[in-house]
Structure 1
Amino acid sequence: MTVITHNRRRSRLSTLIDQPGGVSAGVALAQAKANLAEMEGRSRAVIEEEVAALALLQPAASLEETARVLDQAYNHSSAVIDAAGPFELKDLCAAAANLCDLIDAAPEDKPFDWRIVTVHAQALRLLLTLPADAAEVRTQVLASLKDVLKAKVPGIAGPSD
């Protein structure tokens, strides 16, 4: 029987990986969470600013102006998602995304029902003020917003349907 042997060369990468140093995954995750926690206060401030700006928007006076005002509402809602997402504020993200979906589905040749923006701004304010343990109320608020989406955009079904 013949046995063939050869010397295996270690790659440079495997040599680097085997050397001590660097940071373990657990330590890196802990550091990332600590860094993120430092920004949570600023994130909440941004969310509050965007919700306040959304609430201050006035309905368009004409069909021509509607697109501009809806773009502003969409931008404020998107900013809420951007600020809330890293902190897993899923209820705020869901409410803001619901408004974005409604704006996306709005027909360009018809006036937009501005009550939708007003209700979403109020819902976002409510979600911001609710205590963390008010899960049932949060669920009810989000379900009501989803009902608005279903009523205004026939044939749409949410991810939980």
Structure 2
Amino acid sequence: MSVVTRIQRRSRLSTLVDQPGGISAGVGLARARANLQAMEGEAREIVAQRIADLAAIPAPQDGVLTGEGLEEVYRGSAAVIDAAGPFALEDLCTAAAGLCDLADGSGVSDWRVIAVHIQALRLLLALPEDAVAEREQILLNLEDVRRRKLPPVDQPAG
């Protein structure tokens, strides 16, 4: 009878982790926060520009946004999320995600609803950081609009 002997190789990562040097996780996180803080102003400018791009979309004559217009709204609101996400601008991300929901082919193309979301994005960006109650109220109202305008999602049989 033969015996199988297994020789375990040590991974390169475990070798690197065991070596002295580097920085602690706390110091690394503090540096990352400082780096992000330095870029927040630029990110806010990008968010403002993306919101301005959304506001520049011409209102359709019949009040119904179709095809390419909906895609433009979706791309613009996704760009807001991309720029605001790393900087803890959750309210802007939530409102932009709601706009994505409205424009993602759900059949909702009422320009008035989309315009309300765009105006809410402008307002959220302009509000001071300490206006927490106002931000929450805006998000609640947008959620109410989405709930009324989006078709119900089919619930899986449980």
TM-score of the pair, normalised by structure 2:
0.81
Change (3 A) 1:115 1:24: same
**What percent identity do the matched residue pairs reach?**
52
Partner residue in 1 for 2:59: 59
Using the TM superposition, give the Cα deviation of residue 34 of structure 1 relative to its aligned residue in structure 2, in angstroms: 1.4
CA-based RMSD of the aligned residues comes to 2.5
Using the TM superposition, give the Cα deviation of residue 17 of structure 1 relative to its aligned residue in structure 2, in angstroms: 2.9
Partner residue in 1 for 2:36: 36
Matching residue's letter, 2:77:
S
Using the TM superposition, give the Cα deviation of residue 61 of structure 1 relative to its aligned residue in structure 2, in angstroms: 5.1
Gaps of 5+ in 2: 1-7, 154-158
The answer to whether structure 1 residue 114 and structure 2 residue 92 are counterparts is no
8 A Cα contact 1:80 1:93, kept in partner: yes
Deviations, residues 23-64 of structure 1 (Å, cap 9, x unaligned)? 2111111111111112111100010001111111113458xx
Partner residue in 2 for 1:80: 80
Equivalences for residues 1-161 of structure 1 within 5 A: 11=10, 13=12, 14-60=14-60, 66-107=66-107, 112-156=109-153
Partner residue in 1 for 2:156: none
8 A Cα contact 2:102 2:114, kept in partner: no
8 A Cα contact 1:98 1:149, kept in partner: yes
8 A Cα contact 1:59 1:69, kept in partner: no
Change (3 A) 1:20 1:56: same
Matching residue's letter, 1:95:
A
Matching residue's letter, 2:148:
A
Deviations, residues 62-100 of structure 1 (Å, cap 9, x unaligned)? 8xx821011111111000000110011110000000011
Distance 1:92 1:100 in 2: 12
What number of residue pairs does the alignment pair up?
146
Deviations, residues 104-129 of structure 1 (Å, cap 9, x unaligned)? 2532xxx8210112111110111011
Using the TM superposition, give the Cα deviation of residue 135 of structure 1 relative to its aligned residue in structure 2, in angstroms: 0.9
TM-score of the pair, normalised by structure 1:
0.80
Gaps of 5+ in 1: 1-8, 157-161
8 A Cα contact 1:105 1:153, kept in partner: no
Larger radius of gyration: 1
